[in-house]
Every structure is written in C-alpha cells, then in structure tokens.
Amino acid sequence: MIPIIDFQRRSLTGPVMKSDEFDLAFSAKVRELAAKYEIKYNPEELIVDDATADAVFKAGVELLADIGLYHMETERVIKFSKEEIETIARECRENPARHTFGRGKDAVTVSYRTSADTRPPILYTGPGGVAEPEWFVEVIQSFAQEESVKALGICPGLAKLGDIEPKAGTLSEIHVGLWEQAHIKEALRRVGRPDMHCGLLATVSTPAGIMAMIGPGLREPHNTQIGVHIIPEQKVDWSRLILAQFCQLRGIQPWQSSMSLIGGLCRNAGETAIALVANGLGQIAYAQGKLCSFFANHIDGKWSTRQTTWAYSAAARAFERNVKIAVGGIAVSAIEAWKTETQLMQASAMGIANTASGFAYCWIAGLTGLEARLVGEAMNAVAGMERLKANTLVKRIMDRVEKTLPTVTPAQTPFPEAYDVKTLKPLPEYEATMMRAKEELARFGVPY
C-alpha cells in the first residue's frame, strides 16, 4: 500500500487543473472506456455475469490510472501508475478482507463474501436520517432489539437539540454529538447489548468534531467507523486524508464508500459502474480499509431502479472477483414509498440482487427494526441462489414494484406512527402491511 503521507506530496506536486477541467477529462475517459470494453447496461441481466464484471474492473483501473484523484483544495491531481493500482488490488486479493466489530458477546465479524456464497450478508443496519430527541433512543432500540441485527451500521442524527442547531466546525456540532453518543449507549444498555458496534457517526462530520467523539466510554475502535468517503467523481480534500490517517493511528476501521451518479458525469449505468470501481480503488489507496460500500444513484435522487441495481452489481462483482474486499451497501426503498408494501418489496429486491452480487454487509435495511428483520430474511433465503435464478426473481419483484409506485411521493411516516414508543412493538396496521409484503414476496419465489 502507498504510505498515507505520500498523498500529501502528490497533492502538492501533481498536475495543476481546474475542477471543471478534471470533470471534463473524467467524463471523456469514462465514455471511451465503456466503448473500449463494450460495457452496456442490460435490463434483462440485473445481476451481471463474470465477463462483464471483469471488464468493469479493467476499465475502472484504467480510469483511475489515467485520470487520478482530484484534490479540491490544492487544485492538483493525485497521480497513480497502473502498476500501483494493480498492486493495491493484488495485495487485497491475497489477503481477503475480514474485520471484527463489537466486543465480547456483541462481537461480529464481517468478511469477504462471494456472489455464490451460501453465507448470508451480515445485517449491520440502523436507522439513518433524522430523529427527534423524544424518540431518538426508541428508534435505535427498535433495531438493536432485533436478534438478526448484528451491528448498527448507522444511527440517526438530530436536526436540533432544544434551541441548539449542530453547525459543522463549531462547538454545537460537538455538543449535539456527545448527546447522541450518550443516548445511543442508553438504547444498547436497554437491550443488553452494550458493546455492539455503533457504525458511522451521523451529525458530527468535521475532523475536529469526529476526534472529539473518540475516547473511553464514547466511540472506540471496537464500536465505531469514521467516514473517509471519496467525493464523486474521484475527488478528495484534506479532511478525508486527515481522517484516514487518524483511523490508521487509532486502529479504527475507516468507512469507505463509493457513490456515483447516473445522469451526471456518467451518462448511464455502464459508465457509472466503471466510476464506482475507480472511486473505490482510489479510496482504498489512501484509506486502506477492509470494507467498501457502493451506492449508485440517479441525479434526481432516486435509487433502487433497474439501472442502479445493474451498476451496483457490476461494481460489486468486479470487486468480488478482483479485489476480495468486503463489499457493502443498502437495501432500502427510494423515497417514493416510505413504510408501505411497495417499500418493503423494493428494499427486498435490492437486498436480493446485492446478495447475489457479493454483498457482505447491509448497512441500511429498511426504515425500522421490523423492516430490517424482513429484508434480512429475504437476503438469508437467497444466499447461494444461482445467479440466473436470482436475476429472474429480482426482475419479477421489480415488475410489481414499478406498477405500484405512487405517482406522488407520500410524506415520511414518523417512527411513532409505525411503533408504539412505550412497548417498542410495531403498531398492528404497520406490521400487517409489512407481513402482507412478505407473503407476496414468497409468492414471487423468495424461498423463506
């Protein structure tokens, strides 16, 4: 691996370039590589084959070698040779990823998983988004109380604590962050899982704020990850590099996440898959983590479509076959269908497709503990399913989802309208809705 300090040298001595010029170079190169390797989105093959996955990997290596990473503050390009990138992939491949989170009885090991592996992905999931102080503990508890949830991939953040708004880079960011950590601990104490992994920090985002959260009784190496996310497309700044170095010094597993947009600099799912691989490899170069999450999105904010499913599968399978890192992601509906039958079916389709693409861990699965359990059951049921059979199943579910998505996005259902916040049990109407979705998934062929 390249020493982290060398990224400072490259950030200060690489070619000078304006951000727009870098974007244009990226866009032209990814188009060229998609044509060179004949990488095209196929709506009939949402879980891609071996040859497509390998072509996407080769294209991603070339994209990173040719374009590099762009440092947004120095306005210079961090350059790599193709040999360096191939060495990074080979070193990962020769030592397949494995990392243990949590402690004692709450420990869980996340490890590299193949697309054909009969071991299901780890349900490593929590409630993303924004919560209210009045039910902050309860929404986390709804996940932590589920036996199938082995770790919290993420916990929610607060938009406001009393009259204090958490503003990045100020004392209020730390003030609210400390409140959140204390109440996450309370949720875990209530369910008897005090040493459970708590995942990514939510509200706190700046290096100073994050470092203030690390310490005995707060976040420690066994129960936290720190985001060093690469910025789409192929961009970094000092905060990413500083946090990557901090993780290495403190023995904390970095949160690596590669996200690319369909309809932005990448025109389609094929180009997006290539970019996901290049972004992922560039991030591993500086962060050196054992896990990497992928996420494909449309420029209008929608995901869990056929195109994003294909792009994710192509990138995940490229990494599964050529890097052997633990590949993660999400299985949650796009914003059109919160807490409905359609939402659970859409989330389950994502989970099934991702499981058949080498998914090792799922860091968001549904919007409540009940949904996480049900999405996890679908992923467990299909682990090891033959690729073409899984592909047929995913398409069948998506056909149904596309026919029933609402034309108007419904308002998000607040947690207290889905769960009784005193008993921490799903409300009868909500639970019945989710169970009807599971019954329909079974009819479509999910082998529970």
- Please write the tens of the pLDDT for every residue from 55-83: 999 999 999 999 999 999 999 999 999 99
Q: Do residues 259 and 265 touch, judged by C-beta distance below 8 A?
A: no
Q: pLDDT tens across 77-103, in order?
A: 999 999 999 999 999 999 999 999 999
pLDDT, residue 302, reads: 87
pLDDT, residue 129, reads: 87
| pLDDT interval class at 335 (50, 70, 90) | low
Domain layout of the chain by residue ranges: 110-228+251-262+286-303+324-444
Q: What is the mean pLDDT of the chain?
A: 96
pLDDT, residue 366, reads: 85
Task: Measure the CA–CA gap between 337 and 410, rounded to whole angstroms.
Answer: 7
**How many other CB atoms are there within 10 angstroms of residue 8's CB atom?**
17
The one-letter code for the residue type at 3 is P
CATH of range 110-228+251-262+286-303+324-444; options 3.20.20.460, 3.40.50.720, 3.40.50.1820, 3.40.140.10: 3.20.20.460
Q: Token digits for 415? A: 């947690």
pLDDT average, residue stretch 212-229: 96
pLDDT, residue 138, reads: 97
Whether residue 410 has pLDDT greater than 70: no
**Nearest 10 degrees: CA dihedral of 349, 353, 358, 364?**
-30
pTM for this prediction: 0.96
pLDDT, residue 251, reads: 97
pLDDT average, residue stretch 209-234: 96
Q: pLDDT tens across 278-322, in order?
A: 999 999 999 999 999 999 999 988 898 999 999 999 999 999 999
Q: Which residue has the higher pLDDT, 412 or 126?
A: 126
First-residue to last-residue Cα distance in the chain = 42
Q: Token digits for 124? A: 């490593």
